[in-house]
Amino acid sequence: MTGRRRKPSPAGVIDVAFRNAALYLLAMIKANALKTGAVVAIDGAPCVLEQVTVQTPSARGGASLYKLRFRNAVSGQKVDRSCKGDQAFQDVELRRRPIQFSYQRGDSYVFTDLDDYSEIMLMQHEIEREAPYFDEDTEGLQALVCDGRVIGIELPPVVEMPVVECEPSIRGASATARPKPATMPTGLVVNVPEYLSPGETIRIDTRTGEFLGRA
């Protein structure tokens, strides 16, 4: 990746191996009580609820159907579940701590805990999905802590990044014109409107990777 500061790793950096972290399980919670951001155990892994869609029955007396979209906090993969409102899920105690990305050294990413200023190290393969969406200036990053261990990081819903490379803007192009690829400082490629030029800062949806507009 480009645009990362590289310097020697200081002594005392915490190397967090979260893949073997045990889950601290709480009481069961029903689907109709879940709210966005809740964390439950699915197939033994902590999953964060990102979207809830409720389908009301057309027939009288029918049960509402809950369509739940989770994100596995360890792998980053999406997990979809459809169930009735009384379906029970195992609640998981998960704390969020504000962090700031500090620097990258090889395949290691070092973050600063903004609560106690300790440092946390994660390997590139452990945050492969999230890594293209942050740099040293990104605000709103959260460490996900379960049973005293960091099991991953959570991105803010939207980040801002400058375009470092794309085709020249086309005069008179509209927002509905054919999109073109643009490269961010982290190597992330986002499809943007033809009217954008290198150097402009854009807003990006971290859940879909889509262009949202100029910053």
Q: 131 and 186, same structural domain?
A: no
**Angle at the Cα of 78 from the Cα atoms of 156 and 125, rounded to 5 degrees:** 70
Q: What's the pLDDT score for residue 7?
A: 40
Spell out a b/e string for 4-15, using b for 16 or more CB atoms within 10 Å of the CB, else e.
beeeeeeeebee
In a domain, 66, yes or no: yes
Candidates 191, 192, 196, 190; CA nearest to 171 is: 196
| pLDDT, greater one: 174 or 171 | 171
Whole-number pLDDT of residue 1: 44
Residue 9 has pLDDT above 60, yes or no: no
Q: Are strands 88-92 and 201-205 parallel, antiparallel or unpaired?
A: unpaired
Q: What is the pTM for the complete model shown?
A: 0.69
Return the top range by mean pLDDT from 3-7, 157-161, 204-208. Answer: 157-161
**Where residue 178 sits, what CATH number does that domain have?**
2.40.50.140
Q: Are residues 136 and 34 part of one domain?
A: yes
Per residue in 108-154, pLDDT tens?
999 999 999 999 999 888 788 899 999 999 999 999 887 787 878 88
pLDDT digits 0-9 by tens, 78-92: 999 999 999 999 988
The whole-number pLDDT of residue 17 equals 38
Q: Decide if 120 contacts 16 (C-beta within 8 A).
A: yes
- Return the pLDDT at 143: 93
Question: Is residue 67 over pLDDT 60?
Answer: yes
Any domain includes 5: no
Q: How far apart are CA 79 and CA 87, in angstroms?
A: 16
**What is the spatial distance between Cα 48 and Cα 70, in angstroms, rounded to a whole number?**
5
Residue 42, strand partner residues: 45
Same domain (yes/no): 98, 43: yes
Residue 167 structural domain: 159-214
Q: What is the pLDDT of residue 178?
A: 83
Reported as a single tens digit per residue, the pLDDT across 33-42 is 998 888 899 9
Q: Is residue 148 part of a domain?
A: yes
